[in-house]
Amino acid sequence: MASSDAPAPEVRAAARGVAPPGVPWRLVRYTLGRLTAVFITTVIGVYLTILIANMGGHVDEIRRATIRESLAISVGMAPEFQHLTPAERRQLVEELAAVQYKRLGLDQPFLIRSFRYLANALTLNLGRAEQLTSDSGSSQVRLILLERLAPTLLLTATSFLILFFVSLFVALGLSRRYGSFLDRLSVALAPLSAGPPWFYGIFLILIFAAVLRWLPFGGMVEAPPPPTPGAYFLSLMKHMILPVSSIVLSSLFIGIYSWRTFFLIYSTEDYVDMARAKGLPARAIEGRYILRPSLPFIVTSFALSVIGLWGGSIILEQVFNWPGLGRLFYQATQVFDTPIIVGNTIIYAYLLAITVFVLDFVYALVDPRIKVGAEGRWP
Amino acid sequence: MSGFKRSLHLLVQYPSAALGLAIILLLAALAIYAVLSMPLAEAVRLWRAGEGVWQDTPRNAAPAWLNGLRREKLPVTQVFDSRLQPESKTVHLLGDGLAEVRIVFPVDYRYDGFPQEVAVFVTARFQQARPHAAMYWITPDGREIPVADSSLRSTETFRLSQDARLTRRLRGQPAEVGLLADPNAPDLRPLKGIHQLVIDGLVFEEGADIDAKLVVYGQLHGWAGTDHQRRDITVALLWGTPIALLMGLAAAVGATLSTMLIAAIGAWYGGWVDGLIQRITELHLILPVLPILIMVGTLYNRSLVVIIGLFVLLSVFSGGIKTYRAMFLQVKASPYIEAARAYGASHLRIVFRYMVPRVLPVLLPQFVTLIPSFVFLEATLAVLGLGDPLLPTWGRVLWEAWGNGALFNGHYYWVLAPSALLLLTGLGFSMLGFTLDRVFNPRLRGM
């Protein structure tokens, strides 16, 4: 991943001509360092997830009981075992179960098994679901999860992008009009962000779907799906409006408030006054003296809020009937489909890890310390 | 104490803080009222809604105060019980154990809408011979409609609205419409006036008796309406308040204090301790906390205490540690810490007595803003169906409303009341928190 991602910023840094020689190498080293760190933390995180999921061997108990039960049924039903006494039959079930345990590795101590689970989880070899299947009919957990990944990514990526750029530009605009009515309004609205996305989703559904009947209650496309790609796209857009708006609404005001405060603090620095005194145009001051130095902090705060939003999107999907990972999670908890629950948790760990890594990478692009090499954050 | 008074005075000058404080006090008052008016065991019993607990309440009824906004008044539930109103029952002894029991319930109906349902619950006391009862409905204009005629078991329920034969007799209209409708009106509207339900019973034994209860279910009920299981939502809204506040407060205290202590220890000891704490913080970013909570809720335990406790445990190493650490590093360098070292204070003494108290006021705003996030966490888990199975909470009401298509079926009150309370809690605490932040953070003052 590092090799495919790294060249782009090198080229860009070189093309801009701001970087002294040796910078690309530093960027690559930083990226590789972060990648290793994120990988190690992901492995530990996934392992912890497995430990919690298997706490006290609960999951194994369930699996053992399931195996024994299905064997008992098949032995009881089979005509060739009719002549056996109940005791003999029970012994036969135990013998067959022992073979199954051995086959599934359930006879080994938990420590060894946990590492096997870890290896399986890391390679997304997540086994078979107990009840749920993918839309194509497979019960492979990996296929089920991959099928649901795309809608989740579509929803969250769209919301995050809108959230980032809208907050950024509105905050910049407000810091320019400090003290105006809009500015005070945004400060007054900031406490609204106390609610999670699904909470605003309920209100939006109430207004736009239940009362006004303008937009659909939920789902990703109309049923049946429109035949032409154009109509499909339009229907998708229509269904995305409410969920995306709820994510954006839930974090927009707090983002605007805190970033505007950041910009205000930076615009009172002496060098900004100096630039103003020199008569530089407002755009240049904003871009070069206010936005540029505050960008690393903005990226960090955005990263933290995105990480919080991943969790929130689970329920949002449930509220909006969005066929993504979150809704799958809910469905799996309803029928106690353990492999899917565990697999889903692991997928979320991966998504968080990728988010952290991507944002770290963006951070590296905007943080001058890494480019100029005063001090790298890692290693 | 004077310092506290002064900061309170300073706070009240900000309108948003005053409003936030007012909301919090209101919620606290509501919580105290809930605890005083009804013990938790009673609330749980009502909310679990066993047999007969909510027999006399309508299903999915909107709040009763809506009548104040409507021109056409909708009915509220009327209950008549011959055991509570002995004057409605007259007994004629015919000798030889034979007796005529006559129960008359006068229904004063003054509403513009029809009831939701009409039901009669009859209890009979007898040894061998089952009593017999015939029921008539007498309208204000004198029509007499036979409603039911049967011999009784010890308890007998006549759900008139679901009685197909009665519906046929009323020309296809269900009982709640057919019995009350004005036959001369061009459109369907209830006939106002005193309707009567007459139960003519006959008992055949010495000591045998009949009692009856008539319930004319309204379309509106109580302060908050009822849900699909006839439960009064007021119970959950009221008792949800202390649960939400207590949980938010306890979890926020747990989370901020533990996070702060760990940050303090890391900042003070430095070296590998600090490094380890930093690495764990990075690990925490990748740990999918909510999925893990859901997993634990599904596989192990759904008790609110366990789930919230686990959440606090998982959020000990949250992103907040970095902020606190930066503050503690500043505090660590200040001269009074050096003085403490000079007189030989132990490490832990310095951390607990000198560093933590110094940072506490700065943490107060974050602590206050954190409370609603825990209140919403409960609601979040409940919406996922992982709420505490016993406790009546706002989140559970929302979840049940959601699961039963409240918005789709137009039962807006069912969603709006708990959401409004959640929103109020969120707004109250975060308004106060934001203002505290501006007061305690000199850089933000005036911005």
String of DSSP letters for B49-78: T-TTTTTTS-SSPBPGGGGGG-SSPPPB-E
Q: For A208, name the nearest residue in chain B, comparing CA atoms only.
A: B407
B283·A45 Cβ contact <8 A: yes
A41·B380 Cβ contact <8 A: no
Model confidence over A222-240: pLDDT tens digits?
Answer: 878 888 888 888 888 889 9
Distance CA A101, CA A106 (A): 5
Structural domains in chain B (count) = 2
Residue B185: CB atoms within 10 Å: 10
> How confident is the prediction along chain B (447 residues), in pLDDT tens digits per residue?
456 677 777 777 788 888 888 999 999 999 999 889 888 888 888 888 777 777 888 888 888 888 888 888 888 888 888 888 888 888 888 888 888 899 999 988 888 888 888 889 999 888 888 899 999 898 888 888 888 888 888 888 888 888 888 888 888 888 888 888 888 888 888 888 888 899 998 888 888 888 889 888 888 888 888 888 888 888 888 888 998 898 888 888 888 888 888 888 888 888 888 888 888 887 887 788 888 888 788 777 777 788 888 888 887 887 778 778 888 888 888 888 888 888 888 888 888 888 888 877 777 777 888 888 888 888 888 887 777 778 888 888 888 888 888 888 888 888 888 889 998 998 898 888 888 877 776 655 544
Average pLDDT over every residue of A300-322: 81
**Which residue reads 């630039």 in tokens?**
A275
Residue B233 corresponds to which amino acid? I
Residue A285: CB atoms within 10 Å: 18
What's the gap in Å between the CA of A75 and the closest CA on chain B?
29
B373 contacts in chain A (CB < 8 Å) = 194
Q: What burial class does residue B25 get, using C-beta atoms within 10 Å of its C-beta: 0-12 exposed, 13-18 middle, 19+ buried?
A: exposed
What's the gap in Å between the CA of A80 and the closest CA on chain B?
38
What's the gap in Å between the CA of B286 and the closest CA on chain A?
5
Task: Place A371 in a pLDDT band, splitting at 50, 70 and 90.
Answer: low
B419·A37 Cβ contact <8 A: no
Residues B212 and B242 reside in one and the same domain: no
A194·B288 Cβ contact <8 A: no
Q: Which of B276, B281, B294, B427 to mutate to test the interface with A (most CBs of A within 10 A)?
A: B294
Beta-carbon contacts of residue B214 (< 8 Å; ≥ 6 apart): B79, B80, B81, B105, B107, B118, B119, B120, B197
CB hemisphere CA count around B56 (13 angstroms): 10
Q: Which helix (H) or strand (E) holds A217?
A: none
Residue A121 corresponds to which amino acid? A
Task: Place A242 in a pLDDT band, splitting at 50, 70 and 90.
Answer: very high
Q: Which of B285, B294, B427 sits opposite A191 (nearest CB)?
A: B427
Residues B240 and B381 reside in one and the same domain: yes
B294 contacts in chain A (CB < 8 Å) = 314, 329, 333, 341, 345
Judge whether B365 lies within some domain.
yes
* Contact between residue B314 and residue B292 where contact means Cβ atoms under 8 Å apart: yes
First CA to last CA distance, chain A: 19
Contacts 24+ apart (CB under 8 A), A8-17: A9/A361, A9/A364, A9/A365, A13/A371
Q: Residues in chain A, how many?
A: 379
Residues B270 and B406 reside in one and the same domain: yes
Residue A74 has pLDDT above 80, yes or no: yes
A330·B288 Cβ contact <8 A: no
A50 CB within 8 Å of a chain B CB: no
Beta-carbon contacts of residue B173 (< 8 Å; ≥ 6 apart): B167, B181
- pLDDT at residue A57, rounded to an integer: 63
Residues B126 and B173 reside in one and the same domain: yes
Please say which residue of B159, B190, B217 terminates a domain.
Answer: B217
What's the gap in Å between the CA of B383 and the closest CA on chain A?
7
Distance CA B37, CA B235 (A): 11
Q: Which of A263, A315, A340 to mutate to test the interface with B (most CBs of B within 10 A)?
A: A315
Residue B256: CB atoms within 10 Å: 23
Task: Place A14 in a pLDDT band, splitting at 50, 70 and 90.
Answer: very low
Q: Which of A42, A48, A198 sits opposite B383 (nearest CB)?
A: A198
Q: Which residues of A121-155 are buried (b: 16+ CB within 10 A; e: fewer)?
A: beeeebbebbebebeeeebbbbbbbebbbebbebb
* Contact between residue B111 and residue B73 where contact means Cβ atoms under 8 Å apart: yes
Distance CA A269, CA A264 (A): 9
pTM: 0.80
Using alpha carbons, list the distances in angstroms from residue A63 to A68, A70, A101, A106: 9, 11, 9, 9
Task: Place A244 in a pLDDT band, splitting at 50, 70 and 90.
Answer: very high
- pLDDT at residue A28, rounded to an integer: 80
Judge whether B428 lies within some domain.
yes
B399 contacts in chain A (CB < 8 Å) = none
A199·B415 Cβ contact <8 A: no
* Contact between residue B434 and residue A191 where contact means Cβ atoms under 8 Å apart: yes
Distance CA A190, CA A251 (A): 9
For β-strands B78-81 and B155-159, DSSP reports them as unpaired
**CA nearest to B375, candidates B258, B284, B241:** B241
Please report the residues numbered 70 through 129 in chain A whose beta carbons come closer than 8 angstroms to any beta carbon of chain B. none
For β-strands B155-159 and B98-109, DSSP reports them as unpaired
Residues B209 and B254 reside in one and the same domain: no
Q: Which of B299, B379, B419 sits opposite A338 (nearest CB)?
A: B299
DSSP H stretches of helix in chain A: 2-5, 7-16, 23-53, 58-77, 86-104, 110-122, 141-176, 181-189, 197-204, 229-267, 270-278, 282-284, 292-319, 325-334, 338-366, 368-372
Beta-bridge partner residues of B150: B133
Residues B250 and B146 reside in one and the same domain: no
The CATH number of whichever domain residue B405 belongs to comes to 1.10.3720
Residues B388 and B420 reside in one and the same domain: yes
Distance CA B326, CA B330 (A): 7
Residues B260 and B289 reside in one and the same domain: yes
B319 contacts in chain A (CB < 8 Å) = 304
Judge whether B55 lies within some domain.
no
What's the gap in Å between the CA of B295 and the closest CA on chain A?
6
Residue A18 has pLDDT above 90, yes or no: no
Using alpha carbons, list the distances in angstroms from residue A320 to A241, A245, B165, B386: 11, 12, 43, 18
Question: Domain containing B148: what range?
Answer: 71-217
Judge whether B53 lies within some domain.
no
* Contact between residue B130 and residue B117 where contact means Cβ atoms under 8 Å apart: no
The CATH number of whichever domain residue B90 belongs to comes to 2.60.120
Backbone phi, psi, residue A225, to 5°:
-60, 140
Q: Which of A49, A59, A206 sits opposite B292 (nearest CB)?
A: A49
What's the gap in Å between the CA of B3 and the closest CA on chain A?
26
A205 CB within 8 Å of a chain B CB: yes
What's the gap in Å between the CA of B191 and the closest CA on chain A?
32
Residues B249 and B316 reside in one and the same domain: yes
Beta-bridge partner residues of B374: none
B300·A55 Cβ contact <8 A: yes
* Contact between residue A324 and residue A310 where contact means Cβ atoms under 8 Å apart: no
Residue A56 has pLDDT above 70, yes or no: no
A199 contacts in chain B (CB < 8 Å) = 376, 379, 419, 422-423
- pLDDT at residue A243, rounded to an integer: 92
**Which residue reads 């036969």 in tokens?**
A92
Longest dimension (CA), chain B: 105
Q: What burial class does residue A283 get, using C-beta atoms within 10 Å of its C-beta: 0-12 exposed, 13-18 middle, 19+ buried?
A: exposed
Model confidence over A122-165: pLDDT tens digits?
Answer: 887 777 777 777 777 777 888 888 888 889 889 988 998 898 88
Please say which residue of B186, B217, B248 terminates a domain.
Answer: B217
A202 CB within 8 Å of a chain B CB: yes
Model confidence over A160-179: pLDDT tens digits?
Answer: 889 888 988 888 888 888 77
B202 secondary structure, DSSP code: E
Residue A293 has pLDDT above 90, yes or no: no
Please say which residue of B182, B217, B252 terminates a domain.
Answer: B217
Distance CA A52, CA B40 (A): 32
Q: Residues in chain B, how many?
A: 447
Residues B98 and B202 reside in one and the same domain: yes
- pLDDT at residue B329, rounded to an integer: 83
Distance CA A100, CA A117 (A): 17
Beta-carbon contacts of residue A369 (< 8 Å; ≥ 6 apart): A375, A376, A377
Share of chain A above pLDDT 90, in %: 3
A196 CB within 8 Å of a chain B CB: yes
- Edge to edge, what strands does the sheet with B144-151 contain? B89-95, B98-109, B193-203, B132-138, B144-151
Residue B87: CB atoms within 10 Å: 7
Beta-carbon contacts of residue B121 (< 8 Å; ≥ 6 apart): B55, B155, B156, B157, B158, B212, B213, B215
Judge whether B209 lies within some domain.
yes
Q: Which of B288, B300, B430 sits opposite A58 (nearest CB)?
A: B300
- pLDDT at residue A370, rounded to an integer: 59
Backbone phi, psi, residue B180, to 5°:
-100, -15
Please report the residues numbered 270 through 309 in chain A whose beta carbons come closer than 8 angstroms to any beta carbon of chain B. 304, 307
Tokens for B364, please give them.
């107060």
Question: How many CB pairs below 8 Å do chains A and B form together?
Answer: 146
Judge whether B213 lies within some domain.
yes
**Which residue reads 């027999």 in tokens?**
B55
Longest dimension (CA), chain A: 102
A193 contacts in chain B (CB < 8 Å) = 430
Q: Which helix (H) or strand (E) holds B281?
A: helix B271-286
Residue B204: CB atoms within 10 Å: 18
Judge whether B222 lies within some domain.
no
B275 contacts in chain A (CB < 8 Å) = none
Residue A11 has pLDDT above 60, yes or no: no
Residue A304 has pLDDT above 80, yes or no: no
Contacts 24+ apart (CB under 8 A), B409-412: B409/B60, B410/A210, B411/B60, B411/B62, B411/B225, B412/A206, B412/A210
- pLDDT at residue B442, rounded to an integer: 60
Q: Which of A44, A53, A203 sits opposite B299 (nearest CB)?
A: A53
- pLDDT at residue B25, rounded to an integer: 93
B374 contacts in chain A (CB < 8 Å) = none
A183 contacts in chain B (CB < 8 Å) = none
A8 CB within 8 Å of a chain B CB: no
Q: Any idea of the CA torsion for B235, B237, B241, B242, to the nearest 10 degrees?
A: 10
A53 contacts in chain B (CB < 8 Å) = 295, 299
A358 CB within 8 Å of a chain B CB: no
Q: Which of B288, B373, B434 sits opposite A190 (nearest CB)?
A: B434
Distance CA B243, CA B303 (A): 13
Judge whether B340 lies within some domain.
yes
A334·B385 Cβ contact <8 A: yes
* Contact between residue A316 and residue A327 where contact means Cβ atoms under 8 Å apart: no
Helix (H, G, I), strand (E, B) or coil at B290: helix
Distance CA A288, CA A282 (A): 10
**Which residue reads 């909006």 in tokens?**
A320
B419·A58 Cβ contact <8 A: no
Residues B276 and B411 reside in one and the same domain: yes
Residues B206 and B327 reside in one and the same domain: no
